[in-house]
A and B are shown apart, each in its own frame.
Chain A
Amino acid sequence: MQFFMDPTVTVGTKILEVFYIFMGFMSVYAGVRNLRDTTNKARYGTFVFWTALGIVIAFGRWIPAIADGVLIIVMIIPAIFKQVRKGTASDQSAPTESEVAANFKRIGMKIFVPALCLGVFAIIGALIPSISALTGCCIGVMIAAVILYAYSRDNKPQVFLNDSERLLSAMGALCMLPMLLASLGAIFTAAGVGDVIAKLVGGVIPKGNVTVGIIVFAIGMMLFTMIMGNAFAAITVMTVGIGAPFVLAYGADPAVIGILALTCGYCGTLMTPMAANFNIVPVAMLDMKDRMGVIKNQVLPALVMIVVQIVYMLIAR
């Protein structure tokens, strides 16, 4: 309660904390629903995963950090042992084609209004300093839900909760990848990984030459992403190891360098069969003969974009 009374905390942060409690509830809801789904072969593990996650998201701020750490380990254990799965119960509540067609007939193109709500409110939130983009986005979600309810009384709270549970269960434990990678980055930093790489690479990259630093960071992001198949994993390692000591330490703009490094990584994603979800799965889904058929069509745009982004970084740093 102290937190909510604290005048130094912005309104937006307080509202966001309420939304975190709600997200935690959604996660626990997914856990309980899976626990009750006897068709789920791993219902206990699935329950532990979503419930532990829900507790950390909802109440993490008030739980001692070390206990949060323990809860995350508790959450990860069933994930590692492949005990986070989905049953068939949630799929049964998936919308049928005829239901979607009937709803579309009634609502039509107006459906774009709630769909665009999230993005619009995120921008509005970002423009109001005491609110912030994330709180704005969450408010947008709530408004979108209200609009959907106004369109059709069938869109009851239960429908929203069950639809989101179905999508969460389908995503499974992998949806935690970005958050865990960010934590890994923090551990790298705490252990001094950045300093060691800086010392190691310092002989190769001239210290203080930001231009060379930017080029190495951008191309490194692309190559690391190609090897790892995941730009999110690459940005964690590369920012700690190369970005911070060789580019940001010399006063380059962290927002420009940080986000462009990520999209340099995306250029790597476009060129690697390691990113199977994007480059190999579509080959199967579209019945293509050439396994590299998607990648071949992406190499040229990806190479153009890496050059464009390096030039952009050098100009806007």
Chain B
Amino acid sequence: MDYLVLLGIAIVIVGFALKLDAILIIIVAAVVTALVGGIGVDGFLTTLGTSFVSNRSMAIFIIVLLVTGTLERNGLKTAAAQLIGKVRNATPGMVIAIYGVMRLVFAAFNVSFGGVAGFVRPVIMPMAVGAIEAAGHEPKDEYVEELKGMASGMENIAWFFGQVLFVGTAGALLVQSTMKPLGYDVDLLRMAVIEIPVAVIAVGVAAVYYIVKDARLRRKYYGDATDGGKTVAAATAGKEA
């Protein structure tokens, strides 16, 4: 009976879980749901056409690409590398945390620097490893492996929760488009504002977690939790004064 219309949902879940071609899964699920649900071929094409056209807002990424490539051509990534390069005397954990904050702020404006391949590998990891060496230690493989995991984690967390702050991000547009046929109108700016505390907490939690974890790892591998002595010495001196 009418439970058959759930077939489409089952196709989506199983299809994605089996890593089949995503577009194929969607179209098969759509056709099956339409036929089982009694919409018919004409109704299917009409619903598909109507909803796709009313969802054109999600095509906004195309016009954004108009400047994305050219910004990169004119040195955006280099500028970002130089910006974070200004950080001095930081522990590896601090480098990763500061990157997270920077990534979050720029993600809110839909500005990306190239993710793991484009930024973490060429800029952040050398800075983190450089921080170990600046403290007078030999970078140990197991430790660097953990730093790589943390840097990638920071990248993902800051980007996921940061991009929803951009008014007009694909995720919010999808929520808006999914809600519309259900009869709910949601505002893009309001959704971005709602996400501000979530984004701040997410990056804050990740930053603290990675700084603490990094300090513990340094104690384990090098027997200290200081960042090269210098800054901590300065900080303690400041406190005493």
Interface positions of A (Cβ within 8 A of B): 19-20, 22-23, 26-27, 56-57, 60-61, 63-73, 76, 79-80, 82, 95, 99-101, 103-105, 107-109, 111-112, 114-116, 118-120, 122-123, 125-127, 132-134, 136-138, 141, 144-145, 148, 151-152, 155, 159-161, 163-164, 166-168, 173-194, 196-197, 200, 224, 227-233, 235-237, 239-241, 244, 248, 254-256, 258-263, 266, 269-270, 274, 278-279, 281-283, 285-290, 293-294, 296-298, 300-301, 304-305, 308-309, 312, 316
Contacts and interface: CB of A to CB of B under 8 A. Distances in A.
B41 to A, nearest CB: 10
9 tightest CB-CB pairs across the interface, nearest first?
A191-B37, A104-B75, A163-B69, A68-B49, A119-B109, A69-B45, A69-B49, A186-B51, A126-B189
Given A175-B61, A286-B116, A298-B153, A119 B33 contact: no
A111 B81 CA distance: 13
B75 A23 contact: no
Given A109-B82, A188-B9, A285-B117, A200 B198 contact: no
A294 B149 contact: yes
B24 interface: yes
B76 A111 contact: yes
B8 to A, nearest CB: 6
Interface string B116-148: 110011000100000000000000000001101
A244 B182 contact: yes
Contacts of B177: 182, 185-186
Interface of B: 2-3, 5-6, 8-9, 12-13, 16-17, 19, 21-24, 26-27, 29-30, 33-34, 36-39, 42-53, 55-79, 82-83, 106, 108-111, 116-117, 120-121, 125, 145-146, 148-153, 155-157, 160-161, 164, 166-168, 170-179, 181-182, 184-191, 194-195, 197-198, 201-202, 205-206, 209-210, 213
B187 A255 contact: yes
Contacts of A289: 145
A160 B12 contact: no
B24 to A, nearest CB: 5
Q: DSSP majority for the B interface? A: helix
A227 to B, nearest CB: 5
B66 A122 contact: no
27 contacts: A23-B60, A56-B52, A68-B48, A68-B49, A69-B52, A76-B23, A104-B79, A114-B71, A115-B71, A115-B76, A122-B166, A123-B167, A137-B167, A141-B67, A152-B74, A186-B47, A186-B50, A187-B34, A191-B38, A192-B37, A235-B174, A237-B12, A237-B13, A254-B186, A305-B205, A308-B198, A309-B198
